[in-house]
Amino acid sequence: MRKKLAPILSLALTAGLLAACGAGPAEEKKTGAAAEPSATAKTGAVNVYSARTYEVDDKLYADFQAKTGIKVNVIKGKAEELIERMKREGQNTQADLFVTVDGGVLNNAKKAGVLQPMESEALKANVPDSLRDKDNHWVGLSTRARVLVYAKDRVKPEQLSTYEDLASDKWKGKLLVRSSTSTYNQSLLASLIELDGEAKAEEWAKGVAANLGRAPEGGDRDQAKAVAAGSGDIAIMNTYYYGQLLNSKDQEEVKVAQSLGVFFPNQETTGTHVNVSGAGLSKYSKNKENAIKLVEYLTGEEAQAVTSAENFEFPVNPKAKKPELLQSWGDFKTQQIDFAKLGEYNGKAIEIFNKVGWK
């Protein structure tokens, strides 16, 4: 059943392609994309504008359709472009839900006026207050910790401590991290601006940039592979990428993960930086009730366990079962900051990265 539904449900239209083609609803229909708003309103289908690109999401959408009979259409693209598209479409938007991977971006969508509150007792029961917008404009679907991975044959975990320590001279030429254009890095720096102040955050970014073993290139998994290859001893990366490597079908990737250790920084101070992936209800949703049903399903114990087991993200529902790998890391202290601050300081973070030469 799932195999038959998946091609119908998952429609990947990048916003870049749409922008390049000037594509609107008419062009999308030619490719089999989401139907016209009036049509979806009649059928009750839920249209999801998503910046997440994981197979497990498509699987869960298919499961939801199989269980409820409510069709889910997915249009994928970059978060900022999807927000602009929702603004441009206004009341005629096809979007029922907006899904993305960063608390700051979720808050930007709220500030852009493209979302509305989701009133649901089930969501309040599924997701703690700290992982929901205070006005219920978005709710968390998963969390991901930005940690340090290290070469087990060259670094001892007792040598590691905090993000701030990475800027010290002892790590000269030993650090690896993706570029400053990464939202993950921008939000990490934004969190340090919030916690340590702008001056110290800039000092940290300058120190890390000076300690890099090579110019930033590739994604998080590429940093792990480079540590295993000896280009550096420590990389900053999200835990779920480590989980993907360790459970890869490619045995070389498994070997990479097995050569690395995972360290949760700042356990004695401000906690490990954690970001949230979440969903918001479109301000002009044509199928509000069904859209909320979908988010309730995605934050339920069963779907949360699937997300965690297959994508190695941390569940937002505290009752959901975590896979053995995540359980092996145990509980850890997390940063306690308002996710809205990640968006508020995003521009300043980019300014600092450019100033200190973190490419």
Tell whether 54 is in a known binding site. Answer: no
Nearest to 338 by CA among 43, 56, 103: 103
Nearest to 290 by CA among 85, 75, 71: 71
DSSP state of 321: P
Calpha distance 122→125 (Å, rounded): 5
Tell whether 240 is in a known binding site. Answer: yes
Interacting residues of 148 by C-beta distance below 8 A, sequence separation 6+: 160, 166, 234, 235, 236, 262, 263, 265
Calpha distance 175→231 (Å, rounded): 9
Range list of β-strands (E), the chain: 10-11, 46-50, 72-76, 97-100, 115-116, 138-151, 175-176, 234-238, 260-263, 274-282, 314-315
Q: Give the DSSP per-residue string, 125-183.
A: HHS-GGGB-TTSSEEEEEEEEEEEEEETTT--GGG---TGGGGSGGGTTTEE---TT-H
Interacting residues of 322 by C-beta distance below 8 A, sequence separation 6+: 305, 308, 314, 315
**Partners of 314 in the β-ladder:** 143
Instruction: Look up residue 320 and give its amino acid.
Output: A
26: Cα separation from own chain's centroid: 30
264, 272 Cβ separation under 8 angstroms: yes
Calpha distance 40→229 (Å, rounded): 51
> Taking phi first (over 0 means left), then psi (-120 to 50 degrees means alpha), and beta for anything else, what does residue 357 get?
left
Calpha distance 253→217 (Å, rounded): 18
Nearest to 202 by CA among 211, 193, 210, 194: 193
Question: Which residues line the annotated binding site?
Answer: 240-241
Binding residues for Fe cation: 240-241
